[in-house]
Amino acid sequence: MATNKPITANIRALAAQCTFAVVDQGKSLSEELPKQQLKAAPKDKGLLQELCYGVLRFLPELEHDVRQLMEKPLTGKKRLFHFLILVGIYQFKYTRIPDHATVGETVAAAQTLKNKRLKGLINAVLRNFQRQQVDQSSNSTNKPLADAIKYNHPSWFIKKVQAAYPQHWQNILQANQQKPPMWLRVNQQHNSVEQYLLLLKQENISVAIVDDFSGAIQLTSAQEVNNLPGFEQGWVSIQDGAAQQAALILNCQENENVLDCCAAPGGKTCHILEQTPNITMTAIDLVPQRLTRVNENLTRLNLQATVIAGDAANPQDWWDGKQFDRILLDAPCSGTGVIRRHPDIKWLRKATDIEVLTQLQQQILASIWPLLSVGGTLVYATCSVLPEENSEQISSFLAANINAELLNIEQENINTAKIGWQILPDEKGMDGFYYAKIIKNDIND
């Protein structure tokens, strides 16, 4: 009698499909990975994420390894299996998966992907790499690698980082290769940071760092959100330490009218409201679908805001004419400060994108500035490390607006940006981020 046994997906096959979709088809990892995870057993979802993130983190290095092993690359309909080989080599180099399991499961994935003929080739390539790895471990005369391979970033980006940070560029690229830590934001409407630290201790959840200025908590190791005390009740949220600086820099006061531009997924919106509940908050974002996350976060945290699908570059389509006392502009940017969280950025972003983004940022700044009342404060933020999106953008804005005055940010590091506060990746364990704080003066004074 037949039984309905659950189908066990081959995780290597799913990883190959996911990385192929990102690199060759230009799809976002944050959209593609969840689709593939739906096909995996719950216990295997973590491994699938590890393989996908790993291949994208070390793509040039893995591609270099494949070139040493194969006379002709796999192209056309066979291109998917090139990524399967990358998945196999990543397992050898960066996981503790036993070699026999790496070979066996990766070769089996070829059949899952409906190409039995390539099983022999994939087996031979992986076995050959395995042998070469043993040989290389006893041979210290390896040839020097090009920077793109050595640091696993596109050449155009390496050149930009070298030019901007001649003393720090290697540290930035190496930091981008690391797995990011998990940061918590305590909702101080429920508990102080000190009280929540005690709750974590009671659950045997270890803390690595507490940021002096923001109170952001970095955990020693990542946790499932359901393990965090009071998560469903809105006591705590997941948010990087750098992103948690925004609400404190904006420094809203009671009864003010506040605008959060480009607000999705809503972490900064919610943090501002946690800090100062008695404000009128408007949160806008261009993409209506992304506002679902904003509303979900507001609901979980029991916070109130007016959420609008609107274009920050064209406020006439949604603005009611009432000026704002504070504006947070978390501008569209290259995302080059959060590569460690989103390694696909390295392969989705192109050099030509930067000029397009800087023009958009300039347009949004010019469009939003009239919405700010005299004496009001605008905080400009990006998760970029590129000066043209950050200090140079703000320098141009200040030069074009005589009623704009740059204010000091209490915690800024004057060594990394002459204008504003540039946080570099992994500085105090945080993501790469930039902030500039500007006050609007009365030009008649």
Domain ranges of the chain: 11-143, 183-238, 245-440
R_g of the chain, CA atoms, integer Å = 24
Paired with 436 in beta bridges are 380
On the 0-12 / 13-18 / 19+ scale of CB atoms within 10 A, 360 is: middle
In this prediction, residue 71 carries a pLDDT of 87
- Phi/psi at 416 (5° precision): -105, -15
Closest CA to 329 of 391, 269, 279: 269
In this prediction, residue 142 carries a pLDDT of 57
CB-CB contact of 51 with 11 (8 Å): yes
What secondary structure letter does DSSP report for 160?
H
Q: Determine the residue type at 54.
A: G
Please tell me the distance from the alpha carbon of residue 399 to that of residue 161, in angstroms, as a whole number: 25
Instruction: Read off the pTM.
Output: 0.93
CB-CB contact of 13 with 88 (8 Å): no
- Whether residue 383 lies in the annotated active site: yes
**Counts of helices then strands in the chain (DSSP H, E):** 17, 12
Please tell me the distance from the alpha carbon of residue 256 to that of residue 278, in angstroms, as a whole number: 8
Looking at 282-375, list the stretches that DSSP marks H as alpha helix, in order from N- to C-terminal side. 291-300, 345-348, 351-368
CATH topology identical between 11-143 and 183-238: no
Find the length of the chain.
445
Q: Determine the residue type at 109.
A: A
Looking at 24-154, list the stretches that DSSP marks H as alpha helix, in order from N- to C-terminal side. 29-37, 45-57, 59-69, 79-94, 99-112, 119-137, 147-151
In this prediction, residue 1 carries a pLDDT of 39
CB-CB contact of 327 with 381 (8 Å): no
Instruction: Show Cβ contacts of residue 2 under 8 Å, excluding neighbours closer than 6 positions.
Output: none
**E strand intervals along 272-403:** 280-285, 306-309, 324-330, 372-382
The CATH class of 183-238 is: alpha beta
Catalytic annotation, pick one of 52, 261, 270, 383: 383
In this prediction, residue 128 carries a pLDDT of 95
CATH 3.40.630.10 fits 11-143, yes or no: no
Helix (H, G, I), strand (E, B) or coil at 322: coil
**What does each of the 445 residues of the chain score in pLDDT, given as a tens digit?**
344 444 458 999 999 999 999 999 999 999 999 999 999 999 999 999 999 999 999 999 999 999 999 988 899 999 999 999 999 999 999 999 999 999 999 999 999 998 989 999 999 999 999 998 866 654 544 567 899 999 999 999 999 999 999 999 999 999 999 999 999 999 999 999 999 999 999 999 999 999 999 999 999 999 999 999 999 999 999 999 999 999 999 999 999 999 999 999 999 999 999 999 999 999 999 999 999 999 999 999 999 999 999 999 999 999 999 999 999 999 999 999 999 999 999 999 999 999 999 999 999 999 999 999 999 999 999 999 999 999 999 999 999 999 999 999 977 655 455 799 999 999 999 999 999 999 999 986 5
> How many C-beta atoms lie closer than 10 Å to residue 435's C-beta?
24
Q: Determine the residue type at 77.
A: K
Strand 433-440 relative to strand 421-423: parallel, antiparallel, unpaired?
antiparallel
Express the helix, strand and coil content of the chain in percent, nearest 5 each: 50, 15, 40
> How many C-beta atoms lie closer than 10 Å to residue 232's C-beta?
9
Please tell me the distance from the alpha carbon of residue 432 to that of residue 424, in angstroms, as a whole number: 4
Contacts 24+ apart (CB under 8 A), 319-325: 319/371, 322/257, 323/257, 323/371, 323/372, 323/373, 323/376, 324/257, 324/258, 324/259, 324/282, 324/371, 324/372, 324/373, 324/376, 325/252, 325/253, 325/256, 325/257, 325/258, 325/373, 325/375, 325/376, 325/377
Instruction: Please state which of the four CATH numbers 3.40.640.10, 3.40.50.1820, 3.40.50.150, 3.40.50.1220 is assigned to the domain occupying 245-440.
Output: 3.40.50.150
Taking CA atoms, 290 is separated from 285, 294, 297, 411, in Å, by: 7, 7, 12, 31
Please tell me the distance from the alpha carbon of residue 390 to that of residue 324, in angstroms, as a whole number: 23
Please tell me the distance from the alpha carbon of residue 362 to that of residue 229, in angstroms, as a whole number: 42
In this prediction, residue 132 carries a pLDDT of 87
Paired with 371 in beta bridges are none
